[in-house]
Amino acid sequence: MYKPSKEDVRLPPEVKKRVRESVKKSWRGSRSEWKTVINYPHGVAISYVVPKSLENVRDVDLIATMKAAVLRNRWNDCGLKLEREDIRVRVRRTRVPRLTVLILDSSGSMAVARRISLAKKIAWELTERLYVKRDSVALIVFRGKEANVLIPPTRRYIDVVDALKTVPTGGRTPLSDALYKLLTLAKTVKMKNPWTQVKAILITDGKANTCLGLAKSLKEEIENLSKALAKLGVNMEIYDTRPVGVMEFSKSYIDLIASICNATVYRAG
């Protein structure tokens, strides 16, 4: 099994700059970015609207509802009578919770040219700076036959840093399973809070060779999973660990994922 070098791996200056800029941009967004929501009982109320459906109404504006009933002259012997069409729900401005998912490729192909050491260094750089945003962070590592959610969503960034130190390397590249685990995690988070923004940072050389059997081919499987992530609204960044200027014969799926998910790709090699 490949053992990472004990020597310190220095990130190229341009990569460190990209990491810093990415984190600074996300930090500004998480602290100052607000979202307008309807029928969501958190945030500052700014207005009210007629709900599209009366199912799951949970943020009723009582004053606006009573005003609507008064304007419709809904009076009877018992007082003001409220009808279904009088109901109004609040419109609010609220901070949007965010989950950043680090997805690390630790398969055998990452052992070439110390790519795994570079990938871990990138993940460390990102994690050490993510704490300023106070967002949730998760870590998915994929190698061998499957991907594992090594660290579920947490604000204990030290857990992610410690986990990165002991990530083993070797085996096949189950990129499909990593995307599937990301999709499952994103769906679970959005079920708890549909306004949560999920950002994925994929660190890989993109050389998948293990499929889940969800499609006729590996390419189709990755394509379908990428489309599902894009439809769910998962924002993605990809750090390509392949060395620049080196010809490689094995296929990489980074361009396919990036084109479907509209992801920004950084060359870290």
Query: Taking the mean position of all CA atoms in its chain, how far away is CA 179?
Result: 11
Mean pLDDT of the chain: 80
Region 43-52: what's the mean pLDDT?
Answer: 88
Region 94-121: what's the mean pLDDT?
Answer: 79
| Rounded Cα distance, 169 and 107, in Å | 6
pLDDT at 69: 84
pLDDT digits (tens, 9 = 90+) for 202-235: 988 888 888 888 888 999 999 999 999 999 999 9
Region 164-171: what's the mean pLDDT?
Answer: 83
If pLDDT is split at 50, 70 and 90, which confidence band does 112 have? low
Structure tokens at 11: 């990130």
If pLDDT is split at 50, 70 and 90, which confidence band does 160 have? confident
| Rounded Cα distance, 148 and 10, in Å | 27
Name the CATH superfamily housing domain 13-33+96-267: von Willebrand factor, type A domain (3.40.50.410)
Q: β-strands 89-95, 44-49: how paired?
A: antiparallel
Stretch(es) of the chain classified as CATH 3.40.50.410? 13-33+96-267
pLDDT at 240: 87
If pLDDT is split at 50, 70 and 90, which confidence band does 41 have? confident
pLDDT at 23: 43
Task: Count Cβ atoms below 10 Å from residue 109 Cβ, excluding itself.
Answer: 26
| Rounded Cα distance, 77 and 65, in Å | 19
Region 125-148: what's the mean pLDDT?
Answer: 81
Q: What are phi and psi of 57, to 5 degrees?
A: -75, 125
If pLDDT is split at 50, 70 and 90, which confidence band does 184 have? very high
pLDDT at 182: 95
Region 29-51: what's the mean pLDDT?
Answer: 77
List of residues 6+ apart from 136 with CB closer than 8 A: 97, 98, 99, 100, 153, 154, 155
Region 160-164: what's the mean pLDDT?
Answer: 83
| Rounded Cα distance, 168 and 178, in Å | 16
pLDDT at 2: 36
pLDDT at 28: 38
Which string of DSSP letters, residue by residue, matches the chain?
Answer: -----SSPPPPPHHHHHHHHHHHHHHHHHHHH-EEEEES-SSSEEEEEE--S-STT---B-HHHHHHHHHHTT-EETTEE---GGG--EEEEEEEPPEEEEEEEE-SGGGGGGGHHHHHHHHHHHHHHHHGGGT-EEEEEEEETTEEEEEEEEES-HHHHHHHHHT----S---HHHHHHHHHHHHHHHHHH-TT-EEEEEEEE--------SSSSSHHHHHHHHHHHHHHHT-EEEEEE-SPTT----S---HHHHHHHHT-EEEE--
| Rounded Cα distance, 175 and 226, in Å | 11
pLDDT digits (tens, 9 = 90+) for 63-79: 998 888 888 877 777 77
| Rounded Cα distance, 261 and 253, in Å | 12
pLDDT at 133: 66
Region 53-69: what's the mean pLDDT?
Answer: 87
pLDDT at 7: 45
